[in-house]
């Protein structure tokens, strides 16, 4: 019996759909975001202007603002693919690795004081990791398995060492940072408000860590991690249990399987046996097993948390928000999207650059921050408009350094690496590659020099050590810092190559206004703003230039990413 043509067509259509390659992730992001709100297409803000997008993505991916020259060039570029080319350029720039190092330093360490691991070693470890686009799961495994024993590679051990390897503290932060679960309140009993968080979850993670300790002691600045090869479970009692029934657990991740420890013959438990002034090293390390299991492919909580953190980095809030309260009573704003991001991150072997690129190319990310006329309610979790994101202290510092021209002034007079290579009389084909390496090294050296100037910003705008960052809080000290502090005012005084010096060489008020607004706010001024600048220049021009530069840097438009 012949198959009806309509049925055959339907089957072919289904096969075509099933075999068709999936749309790029950024398109699927937009589809799922739109599906999460009625009339999304009608209510969502239009695409951001080129100036708004250029500043936003440069801050998000490199932690600073564009130069005036780069802003001018981007605005003049009429190429239809200029936004995607810009994203690619930023992701491969030295500034990207610096930005990621700064961001994940705060995410992992929460501005704890540098006691056992120098900041420079930790930041260089992070910077080099992101410069090489090291897979995120590998980075986390390195951090959680580090013991600090190699003096040349103590950087990744900072997570443990600068928490003094205090078992309860480390247990809490491993769960918060890498599993998206703040189970601190489950240490002494099941969480009183979140049914998903059990006391057994806390102690299951603790069992990976409570055999480890600092050697020779916790007060030694050069302490390393040692571990006992002791069997046995962790025991615990709920403070709410009137019968005081003792419970126990071996090493186990929340929702994971118990860890099967190898049975070793007595006397064979150690690679390095404990002895006086000798650091013991067991053949089986529970702590190293934690590093392996937490980032394993069969631990969906890790991929989910990583994807959520990267989304929040770009969009200003997580799909699960707050980031460390992932539980059934606080579901994601867009569950299908979070599942998709996590699955794709795993499929692409935890390629952070790839995921950030896809997010940056989405229409969701590129929407304007201006609320459309007639839209009265703008729920933050629907992504109808771009979020106003206060600049992180490090972003603010490097943005101020760039806006005032301090960054350019530091570069002033340096020879181009290509000229250095050319003078060395190397083969012409080798010049571009070697010049790029020297240029990257020069940028890293420049970052290190500028980092000292960023310290006052960290101290004034950063959160208390050991506490989650609260970017929304503002203090009187911060206002006074911007208005009267020498860290900002000192950058505005004319110096060869800086902004005030450049403005002083111009005579046309219109040209001054254009260079000023491009240099500080990454956009062209309006006619009204040009008139205001011209009026301000009627008196003492030198003093007026310093004041208008300061006024723009102190403005809300500058202090927010929008």
pLDDT (tens digit per residue) in 370-390: 999 888 889 999 999 999 999
308 and 285 belong to one structural domain: no
Burial group, residue 452, by CB count within 10 angstroms (0-12, 13-18, 19+)? exposed
Residue 474 pLDDT class (50, 70, 90 cuts):
confident
Q: Angle, to 10 degrees, between the axis of helix 25-35 and the axis of helix 335-347?
A: 170
Q: Show the tokens assigned to 516.
A: 């000023």
Worst-scoring range by mean pLDDT, 315-329, 347-361, 365-379? Answer: 365-379
Q: Show the tokens assigned to 240.
A: 């709410």
378 and 394 belong to one structural domain: no
Structural domain includes residue 134: no
320 and 337 belong to one structural domain: yes
127-157 residue pLDDT tens: 999 999 999 999 999 999 999 999 999 999 9
Cα 447 to Cα 96, 223, 442, distances in angstroms: 12, 29, 9
Query: Which letter, b or e, does each residue of 266-275 get, where b requires 16 or more Cβ atoms within 10 Å of its Cβ?
Result: eeebbeeeee
Residue 36 pLDDT class (50, 70, 90 cuts):
very high
Structural domain includes residue 5: no
Residue 15 pLDDT class (50, 70, 90 cuts):
very low
Residue 7 has pLDDT above 60, yes or no: no
Q: Show the tokens assigned to 334.
A: 């867009």
Structural domain includes residue 120: no
Share of the chain above pLDDT 90, in %: 78
The pLDDT of 332-346, averaged and rounded, is: 98
63 and 85 belong to one structural domain: yes
E-strand ranges in 313-454 read 389-390
pLDDT at 480: 87
Higher-pLDDT residue of 109 and 411 is 109
Q: Show the tokens assigned to 493.
A: 């005084």
Boundaries of domain holding 318: 21-95+300-384
Structural domain includes residue 424: yes
211-241 residue pLDDT tens: 999 999 999 999 999 999 988 899 999 999 9
147 and 220 belong to one structural domain: yes
430 and 513 belong to one structural domain: yes
- Dist. CA 177–CA 356, nearest whole Å: 19
355 and 408 belong to one structural domain: no
Q: What's 464's DSSP letter?
A: P
- Dist. CA 274–CA 226, nearest whole Å: 10
478 and 358 belong to one structural domain: no
Which element (helix H / strand E) includes 101? helix 94-109
- Dist. CA 176–CA 184, nearest whole Å: 9
pLDDT at 514: 97
pLDDT at 423: 57
Long-range contacts of 344-351 (CB under 8 A, 24+ apart): 344/25, 345/136, 345/303, 345/306, 345/307, 345/310, 346/297, 346/303, 349/135, 349/137, 350/135, 350/136, 350/137, 350/138, 350/303, 350/306, 351/133, 351/135
End position of a domain, from candidates 265, 294, 323: 294
Q: How many domains does the chain have?
A: 3
Residue 30 pLDDT class (50, 70, 90 cuts):
very high
- Please compute, for residue 323, the number of CA atoms within 13 A of its CA located in the half-sphere on the CB side: 25
Cβ partners under 8 Å of residue 97, min gap 6: 127, 128, 130, 131
149 and 239 belong to one structural domain: yes
Structural domain includes residue 426: yes
Residue 417 has pLDDT above 90, yes or no: no
Query: Which letter, b or e, does each residue of 84-98 get, where b requires 16 or more Cβ atoms within 10 Å of its Cβ?
Result: eebbeebbebbbbbb
82 and 26 belong to one structural domain: yes
Nearest to 404 by CA among 485, 509, 511, 487: 487
- The overall average pLDDT reported for the chain is 91
228 and 170 belong to one structural domain: yes
485 and 440 belong to one structural domain: yes
Structural domain includes residue 110: no
Structural domain includes residue 86: yes
Q: Show the tokens assigned to 161.
A: 């060492």
Query: Which letter, b or e, does each residue of 474-508 get, where b requires 16 or more Cβ atoms within 10 Å of its Cβ?
Result: eeeebeebbeebebbeebbebbeebbbbbbeeeee
pTM for this predicted structure? 0.92
pLDDT at 10: 53
- Please compute, for residue 46, the number of CA atoms within 13 A of its CA located in the half-sphere on the CB side: 4
- Dist. CA 118–CA 128, nearest whole Å: 16
The pLDDT of 403-425, averaged and rounded, is: 68
Residue 560 has pLDDT above 70, yes or no: yes
Q: Show the tokens assigned to 296.
A: 């394993």
Structural domain includes residue 127: no
- Dist. CA 58–CA 314, nearest whole Å: 11
What is the length of the chain? 562
End position of a domain, from candidates 294, 321, 343: 294
In the numeric block, the tokens 């492919």 are attached to: 297
Cα 404 to Cα 398, 493, 519, 550, distances in angstroms: 10, 9, 8, 9
515-542 residue pLDDT tens: 999 999 999 999 999 999 999 999 888 8
Q: Which stretches of 380-430 are DSSP H helices?
A: 393-403, 406-411, 417-423
Higher-pLDDT residue of 44 and 413 is 44
Burial group, residue 2, by CB count within 10 angstroms (0-12, 13-18, 19+)? exposed
Cβ partners under 8 Å of residue 274, min gap 6: 228, 280
173-213 residue pLDDT tens: 999 999 999 999 999 999 999 999 999 999 999 999 999 99
pLDDT at 426: 59
pLDDT at 17: 42
End position of a domain, from candidates 332, 362, 384: 384
């Amino acid at each position: 019996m012949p198959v009806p043509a309509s049925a055959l067509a339907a089957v072919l259509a289904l096969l075509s759909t099933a075999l068709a390659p999936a749309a790029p992730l950024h398109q699927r992001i937009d589809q799922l975001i739109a599906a999460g709100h009625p009339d999304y297409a009608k209510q969502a803000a239009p695409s951001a202007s080129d100036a708004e997008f250029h500043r936003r993505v440069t801050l998000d991916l490199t932690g600073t603002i564009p130069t005036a020259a780069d802003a001018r060039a981007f605005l003049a570029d009429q190429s239809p693919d200029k936004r995607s080319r810009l994203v690619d350029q930023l992701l491969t720039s030295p500034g990207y690795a610096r930005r990621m190092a700064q961001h994940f330093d705060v995410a992992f360490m929460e501005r704890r004081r540098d006691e056992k691991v120098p900041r420079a070693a930790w930041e260089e470890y992070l910077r080099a990791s992101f410069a090489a686009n090291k897979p995120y799961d590998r980075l986390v495994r390195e951090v959680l398995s580090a013991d600090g024993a190699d003096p040349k590679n103590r950087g990744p051990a900072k997570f443990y060492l600068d928490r003094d390897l205090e078992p309860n503290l480390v247990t809490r932060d491993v769960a918060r940072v890498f599993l998206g679960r703040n189970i601190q309140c489950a240490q002494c009993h099941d969480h009183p408000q979140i049914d998903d968080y059990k006391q057994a979850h806390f102690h299951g993670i603790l069992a990976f860590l409570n055999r480890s300790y600092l050697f020779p002691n916790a007060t030694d600045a050069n302490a390393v991690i040692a571990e006992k090869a002791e069997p046995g479970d962790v025991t615990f009692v709920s403070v709410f249990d009137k019968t005081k029934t003792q419970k126990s657990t071996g090493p186990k991740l929340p929702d994971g399987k118990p860890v099967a420890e190898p049975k070793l013959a007595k006397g064979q438990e150690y690679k390095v046996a404990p002895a006086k002034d000798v650091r013991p090293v067991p053949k089986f390390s529970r702590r190293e097993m934690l590093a392996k299991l937490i980032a394993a492919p069969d631990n969906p909580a890790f991929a989910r948390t990583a994807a959520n953190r990267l989304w929040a980095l770009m969009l200003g809030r997580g799909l699960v928000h707050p980031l460390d309260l992932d539980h059934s009573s606080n579901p994601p704003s867009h569950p299908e999207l979070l599942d998709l991001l996590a699955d794709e991150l795993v499929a692409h072997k935890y390629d952070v650059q790839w995921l950030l690129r896809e997010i940056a190319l989405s229409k969701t990310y590129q929407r304007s921050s201006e609320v459309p006329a007639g839209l009265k309610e703008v729920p933050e979790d629907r992504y109808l408009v771009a979020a106003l994101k206060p600049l992180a202290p490090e972003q603010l510092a490097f943005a101020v350094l760039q806006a005032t021209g301090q960054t350019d002034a530091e570069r002033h007079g340096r020879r181009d690496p290509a000229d250095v290579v050319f003078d060395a009389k190397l083969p012409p084909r080798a010049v571009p590659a070697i010049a790029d390496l020297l240029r990257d090294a020069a940028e890293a050296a420049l970052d290190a020099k500028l980092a000292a100037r960023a310290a006052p910003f960290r101290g004034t705008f950063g959160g208390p050590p050991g506490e989650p960052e609260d970017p929304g809080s503002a203090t009187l000290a911060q206002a006074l810092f911007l208005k009267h502090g020498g860290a900002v005012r000192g950058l505005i005084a004319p110096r060869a190559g800086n902004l005030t010096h450049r403005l002083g060489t111009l005579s046309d008020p219109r040209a001054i206004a254009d260079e000023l607004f491009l240099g500080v706010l990454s956009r062209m001024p309006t006619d009204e703003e040009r008139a205001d600048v011209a009026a301000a220049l009627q008196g003492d021009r030198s003093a007026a230039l310093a004041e208008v530069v300061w006024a723009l840097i102190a403005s809300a438009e500058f202090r927010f990413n929008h």
